[in-house]
Amino acid sequence: MTHRVLILPGDHIGPEIVAEAVKVFHCLGSEFGLSVELEYANLGGCAVDAEGSPLPASTRDLAAQADAILLGAVGGPEWDSLPREQRPERGLLGIRAELGLFANLRPAILFPELAAASSLRTEVVSGLDILIVRELTGGIYFGQPRGIRERPDGVREGFNTLVYGADEIERIGRAAFEAAERRGGALCSVDKANVLESSELWREVMTGLQADYPSVSLDHLYVDNAAMQLVRAPRQFDVMVTGNLFGDILSDCAAMLTGSIGMLPSASLDDRHRGLYEPVHGSAPDIAGQARANPLATILSVAMMLRHSLGESDLAGRVETAVGQVLADGLRTADLAGPTERAVSTSEMGDAVVSALKSQAG
Ligand code: IPM
Ligand code: MG
């Protein structure tokens, strides 16, 4: 069966890192018999420039037909002054909402070879393996009403709405409990139930789900405490589940514990496991065009795609092994290299992963 994969290179370093992931697809095809058809479309700033919208109808159509989507990264300062509807981020939020990609899986795994790159002491982070499950299509990102208006006294005010339905909480809760069943069996739900009613309901629904997952232990933390615990003793966590805004913040924090945000993949899934896969890092305009970007988060996003959407767990494991291999061989892109280490370019790193994969084929 041929898998249809839509590639959205995006902006700045997006096309550079995606090109390396495409090499990996080609290698999986020639060496391991993976059958994929790759299609390309615009999303983000490049789509604004080429087609006048951050999420053009042509991209929407291809996305709806694809089995899975690989995204590089979107955004950059040149589009920041456009009206909100035209900004690159709108393309990303639009595709998440339109495809119903409510379950965002963000693993934060420390590769042993990179322990020294973390800003925390090695003994605090070694062996770190956290999965953050972030609700992605609800909460304050999408709640209505929202806007900027004028008060009766003439002063302007900005307002947003934090709203979660019990159905939205339940489906992200189930995704997180199921992930915890497959992993270490410990789920921590993060909320602000001491202040927010939406969190009060969140906690109630999460607690109610526990009876269906007897092998999983459930804890609750307030988000401020969770942020502190993440930098104090991050290894206490297995799976964390939280809403859209808290998940945005905590996942960046967890990512940095691993030393390089350039290493972390993510998956955004709908209820049928169709998904959009992207590196956690952004479009890095400051290093675009310099062949310095780390393609490993994008390549690891391909591994997540193989596992979660394409039913190719064996190949997913091979890609992850190949990434571990190049790190063990000492290859480092600029973000990972220590002051005395030579940094390899984006394409040297991609090529090294491809040769490590080929050597597995024997
Ligand atoms: C992320 C990003 C996005 C978000 C932005 C680019 C809209 O920060 O994927 O974490 O806030 O969700
Ligand atoms: Mg973010």
Domain 119-258 has CATH 3.90.190.20: no
Q: Residue 260: its pLDDT value, please?
A: 76
pTM, two decimals, is: 0.95
Q: How far is the CA of 74 from the centre of ligand 1 (A)?
A: 10
Q: Residue 339: its pLDDT value, please?
A: 85
CA angle, corner 310, sides to 256 and 62, nearest 5? 90
Domain boundaries, the chain: 1-103+264-362, 119-258
Among residues 141, 164, 213, 277, the one annotated as catalytic is 141
Per-residue DSSP letter, 342: P
pLDDT tens track of the chain, all 362 residues? 899 999 999 999 999 999 999 999 999 999 999 999 999 999 999 999 999 999 999 999 999 999 999 999 999 999 999 998 999 999 999 999 999 999 999 999 998 888 888 889 999 999 999 999 999 999 999 999 999 999 999 999 999 999 999 999 999 999 999 999 999 999 999 999 999 999 999 999 999 999 999 999 999 999 999 999 999 999 999 999 999 999 999 999 998 898 778 899 999 999 999 999 999 999 999 999 999 999 999 999 999 999 999 999 999 999 999 999 999 999 999 998 888 889 999 999 999 999 999 999 87
b/e sequence 249-259, b meaning 16+ C-beta within 10 Å? ebbbebbbbbb
67 ligand 1 Cβ < 6 A = no
Domain 1-103+264-362 has CATH 3.40.718.10: yes
d(CA 172, CA 178): 10
101 ligand 1 Cβ < 6 A = no
Q: 119-258: same fold as 1-103+264-362?
A: yes
Kindly report, residue by residue over 313-360, the tens digit of the pLDDT: 999 999 999 999 999 999 999 998 888 889 999 999 999 999 999 999
Q: Residue 338: its pLDDT value, please?
A: 83
Q: Residue 313: its pLDDT value, please?
A: 96
Any catalytic annotation for residue 192? yes
Q: Residue 362: its pLDDT value, please?
A: 75
Sorted by sequence, the CB contacts under 8 Å of residue 229 that are 6+ apart come out as 221, 236, 237
Q: How far is the CA of 248 from the centre of ligand 2 (A)?
A: 4
d(CA 144, CA 161): 6
Q: How far is the CA of 248 from the centre of ligand 1 (A)?
A: 7
94 ligand 1 Cβ < 6 A = no
Ligand 1 nearest atom to the CA of residue 266, by list position: 9
Residue nearest to atom 2 of ligand 1 (CA): 248
Sign of the CA dihedral with 187 first, then 230, 265, and 323 last: negative
Residue nearest to atom 6 of ligand 1 (CA): 89
**Alpha carbon distances (Å) from 124 to 108, 116, 225, 238, 256:** 14, 11, 18, 15, 13
Strands 103-109 and 265-269: antiparallel
Among residues 192, 238, 277, 335, the one annotated as catalytic is 192
Q: How far is the CA of 108 from the centre of ligand 2 (A)?
A: 14
CA angle, corner 155, sides to 151 and 160, nearest 5? 60
C-beta separation of 54 from 43 below 8 A: yes
Q: Residue 115: its pLDDT value, please?
A: 86
Residue nearest to atom 5 of ligand 1 (CA): 89
